[in-house]
A = this chain, B = another copy of it.
Amino acid sequence: MRISQKVKKILDNYESDNPGTKSKLASILMHGKLGGTGRMVILPVDQGFEHGPARSFAPNPPAYDPHYHFQLAIDAGLNAYAAPLGMIEAGADSFAGAIPTILKLNSSNSLARPKDQAVYGSVKDALRLGCAAVGFTIYPGSDDCFGMMEEIRELAEEAKASGLAVVIWSYPRGGDLTKEAETAIDICAYAAHMAALLGAHIIKVKPPTAALGLDAAKKVYEAQKIDISTPAKRIAHVVQSCFNGRRIVVFSGGEAKGDEGIVAEAKAIHEGGGNGSIIGRNSFQRPRDKALELLGALIEIYQGKA
Contacts and interface: CB of A to CB of B under 8 A. Distances in A.
Chain copies in the assembled complex: 5
A226 B61 CA distance: 10
A65 B246 CA distance: 8
A206 B199 CA distance: 28
B90 A243 contact: yes
B110 A197 contact: no
Interface in A88-103: 88-94
Interface residues of A, number: 89
A157 B149 CA distance: 22
B49 A194 contact: yes
Nearest to A62: B244
Contact of A111 (B118, B152, B190): B190
Interface in A14-31: 14-17
A84 interface: yes
A141 B55 CA distance: 17
Given A111-B145, A149-B120, A150-B118, A86 B198 contact: yes
Contacts of A117: 146
Interface in A38-68: 48-49, 51-55, 58-59, 61, 64-66
A147 B58 CA distance: 29
Please indicate which of the listed interface residues A187, A198, A200 has the most CB atoms of chain B within 10 Å of its own CB.
A198
Contacts of A149: 118-120
A176 B117 CA distance: 17
Given A59-B224, A85-B198, A224-B58, A243 B193 contact: no
A179 interface: no
